[in-house]
Amino acid sequence: MSKTIVILPAGSSPYGNEPDVCKFYANISSQIKTLDNITKVVTATYPGQKDSDGKMEGEITFKTSIEAIDLIIKSCGTEDIRLVCSSYGSLLGAALCAKYPDQISKAVLWSPIPFWFFWQSCVVDRSKWEGSNQEALRGCKVTPNIVDGIIPFEISIQSIHKTMAVIAAAEGDYPGVGSQALLDYYKSLSGYNNLKFRLLEGNRYSMAAATSPEFRNLLAWVVE
């Protein structure tokens, strides 16, 4: 059976104007292709994110993001799908693992954002998203509507019963949030033996973290 690796990014677009973010996702894609040049790799974008053609329409919502990835999954037919997710992408990834247990066989959920932090940073204090300069820099439009249809990560992981998944976090992923404590929190909620937990060095957009042996091992696990 052929495989498709789908990369689900955070809120900032892989095609925005943040150099570290763009390098991070390009590096993940190139590493996967190095591990297995037969595997198809798709870097997804959501409505409200700048796509690979430089177009950005609408705004990001959980509901429309899920619908966009639904189309990718359906287009894969009977292919074996694996996910590599980051932050907001991990919220989507967990919900999709619960929704498509027979199609998504493996997933890496890196730095899944807890619901309280998501609400604080996207609804209450939106300073890093508001304004045309931020939208141009991040390549996305985020408003409080992002919570439309949201399923918190804490809920989704309790509904994953078949997909093999690794929940990973690195110190420095979220300021003021201890990553080991966050992993312990998710572990206490899951009660699911197929969920594994990994503490990584660096942070999500650190090239040192993205090219570390630990993360490369996770990518190798997804591909194998």
- 34-53 mean pLDDT: 90
**Residue 189 pLDDT:** 87
Of 28-32, 37-41, 141-145, 213-217, where does mean pLDDT reach its minimum?
37-41
d(CA 69, CA 76): 11
Report residue 14 as tokens: 């892989």
CA atoms within 13 A on the CB side of 149: 10
Give me the domain span that covers residue 214. 3-223
Q: How many CB atoms lie within 10 A of CB 36?
A: 16
User: pLDDT by residue (tens digit) across 74-115?
Assistant: 999 888 999 999 999 999 999 999 999 999 999 999 989 899
The domain that holds 95 is classified in CATH as 3.40.50.1820
Number of domains in the chain: 1
pLDDT of residue 177 exceeding 80: no
